[in-house]
């Protein structure tokens, strides 16, 4: 074991730019260790490294076509397990081993150990490839667990937080029927028996306190701890709608509280219980009250929206059931038109309602799940495949949106936030889908369009490249506009930060590789605007400070005046390739930790 650690340490300290002559001749994997690689040491061969006779930039220019052969043998050679031997994690507050920072956006965590699996579509993938330096990594100690700021002596103390929940969070994800919940809270009607409703009550209060906060506060932490204190293993021996609601909201809170793996587990429980009580099915033979039918639909589709969004965020296999699910989307109606006394289902409203966003987001995920599945598949997609999937998925989905929820449709103020996040969301998927092709092109040459892989349609690569740039630029503009022209709440900062950080990595990659491009000025503008938003968010969201440090350190040498800018990054394409494949295509290499030592771009 000590020997292995010594060899590992040696590889970190000294590493040649090229494989040794013996490994190159045999076409075998070379770890490029100095003074002698491991393979030559093992077989007692003379290990010689050829001295570079060309600059890194020239070598990158001349050898770039070789990068894009996508040699399966080379990619398979990158496979190796995590350093610790697993992706195990511990996200408990105040527990040994439970203080490691893992952000709930899957964007800042560049250490694999203790963070859980984060794959191709996660923001962490591109960050690991872009920022290999140790100081860029965010797998650091988590801030000390917040002390519960008050003692909850009366349920009346929760009243304001419940109002906060329904004023903002509920507008995006109406998993609870407000009138029923408030009547139960005031005991106008009986509360459901058991602890599940108590868990739901406190997690609703926690999300209310968190979502509407306009400055850093700890009230939500104490409320969520109160919810967890009322949750017991016995509840998992029951199945009811309230428990699904509680677990789903606990999942979302845990993710936003930087506990992504805990969130993932909660979602799994919620989904199993939901199917156990038949929420995924329509039962025409049941003579159910129309409100009960609608509530079952709303709970199922809120769970779907949350769970699928989380799967994409952390780039994990798509395991939400599709076959055998026939439950209809919630009806686009106003709550006042459907009450407990309603006997006939009302006609859908021809305007934005509480359920318009939920319908739109769920239809988006259903329309684009084929894109995500192709992104994480074992066989590598081509640019042509991705553009074709985009054309038959996102384009038709946009056209299918009702006139009152089209991208440029003006919304009532209470629905402005959920409408905005939908615009950020579909652009984010385009960024994720086209990002590998943009990065390949960025690495191929300092002149766009040269040295492309002859095996792939250049027109499709051009389209993928342009769509990725457009989606990132539009995302930065839209998020900035919303942030500076609307209420700056914690919920707005969380979603805005998630989509903004992934968007700004695109101009960062491009600028670092081609700082003298005709487009460099636009990239700098996008980076400057992103920094302005991040700086504004830091007073509210601690994760924004981390994002700001990463963006600043990656771009500080490239965003000054053009006269002061040096040429593109001098990192060899071999080193960039080593980082690219496991990041863009995680099934080809799951050990991300060594890549943290490499400044890829």
Give the model's confidence band at 572: pLDDT under 50 very low, under 70 low, under 90 confident, else very high: low
Average pLDDT over residues 502-514: 92
pLDDT of residue 563: 53
User: For 157-170, what is each residue's pLDDT tens digit?
Assistant: 899 999 999 999 99
Give the model's confidence band at 586: pLDDT under 50 very low, under 70 low, under 90 confident, else very high: very low
User: For 416-430, what is each residue's pLDDT tens digit?
Assistant: 999 999 999 999 999
Helix (H, G, I), strand (E, B) or coil at 141: strand
Q: Which residues contact 227 (CB under 8 A, 6 or more apart)?
A: 198, 199, 200, 201, 202, 203, 206, 246, 250
For residue 15, the cross-strand partners are 33
pLDDT of residue 445: 55
Average pLDDT over residues 135-154: 50
If you search the block for the tokens 């400070």, which residue do you land on? Answer: 545
Give the model's confidence band at 283: pLDDT under 50 very low, under 70 low, under 90 confident, else very high: confident
- Domain 1-51: what homologous superfamily? Zn(2)-C6 fungal-type DNA-binding domain (4.10.240.10)
pLDDT of residue 111: 47
Average pLDDT over residues 66-73: 40
pLDDT of 504 above 80: yes
Average pLDDT over residues 445-452: 47
Identify which of 433, 548, 571, 474 has the alpha carbon closest to the alpha carbon of residue 126. 433
pLDDT of residue 582: 38
The Cα–Cα gap between 408 and 544 comes to 28
Give the model's confidence band at 209: pLDDT under 50 very low, under 70 low, under 90 confident, else very high: very high
Q: Give, for 61, the enclosing helix (H) or strand (E).
A: helix 56-67
pLDDT of residue 419: 99
pLDDT of 556 above 50: yes
pLDDT of residue 35: 76
User: For 4-60, what is each residue's pLDDT tens digit?
Assistant: 444 444 434 457 777 887 887 777 788 888 778 888 888 777 787 775 544 444 444
pLDDT of residue 388: 96
Sort residue 258 into left (φ over 0), alpha (ψ -120 to 50) or beta: left
Average pLDDT over residues 578-601: 34
Average pLDDT over residues 536-541: 95
Q: Are 107 and 498 in contact (CB under 8 A)?
A: yes
The Cα–Cα gap between 349 and 356 comes to 10
Q: Are 117 and 568 in contact (CB under 8 A)?
A: no
| C-alpha triplet 380, 511, 529: angle, nearest 5° | 110
The Cα–Cα gap between 432 and 254 comes to 24
The domain segmentation of the chain, as residue ranges, is 1-51, 155-342, 358-571
- Which residue has better confidence, 509 or 363? 363
Q: Give, for 11, the enclosing helix (H) or strand (E).
A: helix 2-13
- Which residue has better confidence, 88 or 415? 415
pLDDT of residue 446: 43
Locate 122 and state its tokens.
């996660």
For residue 33, the cross-strand partners are 15
Q: SS3 letters for 347-410?
A: CCCCCCCCCHHHHHHHHHHHHHHHHHHHHCCCCCCCHHHHHHHHHHHHHHHHHHCCHHHCCCCC
What is the average pLDDT score of the chain?
79
- Which residue has better confidence, 19 or 522? 522
Average pLDDT over residues 360-388: 93
- Which residue has better confidence, 147 or 461? 461
The Cα–Cα gap between 70 and 585 comes to 11
Least confident of 186-190, 291-295, 298-302, 572-576: 572-576
| C-alpha triplet 12, 15, 16: angle, nearest 5° | 170
pLDDT of residue 16: 73
Q: Are 508 and 532 in contact (CB under 8 A)?
A: no
For residue 141, the cross-strand partners are 100
The Cα–Cα gap between 118 and 125 comes to 7
Give the model's confidence band at 67: pLDDT under 50 very low, under 70 low, under 90 confident, else very high: very low
Long-range residue pairs from 261-267, CB within 8 A, at least 24 positions apart, any chain? 261/89, 261/91, 261/102, 261/116, 262/91, 263/104, 263/310, 264/116, 264/310, 264/314, 264/316, 267/303, 267/306, 267/307, 267/310
């Amino acid at each position: 074991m000590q020997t292995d650690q010594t060899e590992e340490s040696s590889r970190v300290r000294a590493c040649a730019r090229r494989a040794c002559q013996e490994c190159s001749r045999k076409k075998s994997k070379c770890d490029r260790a100095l003074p002698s690689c491991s393979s030559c040491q093992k077989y007692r061969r003379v290990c010689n490294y050829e001295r570079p006779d060309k600059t890194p930039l020239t070598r990158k220019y001349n050898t770039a076509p070789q990068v894009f052969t996508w040699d399966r043998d080379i990619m398979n050679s990158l496979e190796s397990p995590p350093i610790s031997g697993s992706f195990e994690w511990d996200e408990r507050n105040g527990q040994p081993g439970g203080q490691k920072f893992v952000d709930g956006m899957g964007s800042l965590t560049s250490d694999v150990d203790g963070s859980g699996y984060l794959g191709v579509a996660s923001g962490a993938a591109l960050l690991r490839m872009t920022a290999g330096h140790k100081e860029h990594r965010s797998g650091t100690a988590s801030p000390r667990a917040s002390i519960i700021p008050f003692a909850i002596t009366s349920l009346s103390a929760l009243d304001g937080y419940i109002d906060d929940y329904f004023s903002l969070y509920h507008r995006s994800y109406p998993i609870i029927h407000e009138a029923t919940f408030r009547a139960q809270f005031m005991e106008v009607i009986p509360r459901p028996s058991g602890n599940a409703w108590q868990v739901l009550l406190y997690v609703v209060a926690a999300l209310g306190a968190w979502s509407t906060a306009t400055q850093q506060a700890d009230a939500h932490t104490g409320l969520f701890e109160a919810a967890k204190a009322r949750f017991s293993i016995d509840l998992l021996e029951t199945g009811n709608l309230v428990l699904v609601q509680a677990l789903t909201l606990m999942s979302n809170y845990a993710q936003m509280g930087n506990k992504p793996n805990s969130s993932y587990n909660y979602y799994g429980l919620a989904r199993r219980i939901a199917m156990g009580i038949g929420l995924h099915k329509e039962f025409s033979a049941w003579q159910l009250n129309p409100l009960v039918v609608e509530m079952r639909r709303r709970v199922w589709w809120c769970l779907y929206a949350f769970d699928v969004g989380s799967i994409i965020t952390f780039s994990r296999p798509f395991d939400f059931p599709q076959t055998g699910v026939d439950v209809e989307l919630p009806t686009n109606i106003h709550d006042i038109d459907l009450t407990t006394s309603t006997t006939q289902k009302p006609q859908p409203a021809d305007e934005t309602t509480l359920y318009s966003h939920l319908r739109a987001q769920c239809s988006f995920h259903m329309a684009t799940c084929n894109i995500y599945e192709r992104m994480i598949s074992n066989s590598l997609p081509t640019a042509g495949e991705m553009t074709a999937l985009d054309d038959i998925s996102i384009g038709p989905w946009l056209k299918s949106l009702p006139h009152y929820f089209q991208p440029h449709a003006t919304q009532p103020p209470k629905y402005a936030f959920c409408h905005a996040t939908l615009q950020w969301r579909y652009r984010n998927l385009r960024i994720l889908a086209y990002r590998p092709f943009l990065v390949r092109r960025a690495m191929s040459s300092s002149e766009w369009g040269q040295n492309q892989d002859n095996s792939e349609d250049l027109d499709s690569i051009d389209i993928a490249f342009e769509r990725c740039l457009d989606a990132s630029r539009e995302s930065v503009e839209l998020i900035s506009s919303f942030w500076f022209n609307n209420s700056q709440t914690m919920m707005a900062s969380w979603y805005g930060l998630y989509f903004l950080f992934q968007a700004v990595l695109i101009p960062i990659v491009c600028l670092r590789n081609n700082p003298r491009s005709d487009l460099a000025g636009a990239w700098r503008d996008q980076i400057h605007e992103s920094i302005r938003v991040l700086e504004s968010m830091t007073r509210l969201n601690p994760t924004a400070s981390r994002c700001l440090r990463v963006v600043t350190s990656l771009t500080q040498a490239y965003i000054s005046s053009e006269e002061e800018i040096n040429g593109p990054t001098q990192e060899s394409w071999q080193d960039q390739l080593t980082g690219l494949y496991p990041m863009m295509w995680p099934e080809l290499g799951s050990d991300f930790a060594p890549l943290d030592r490499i400044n890829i771009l």
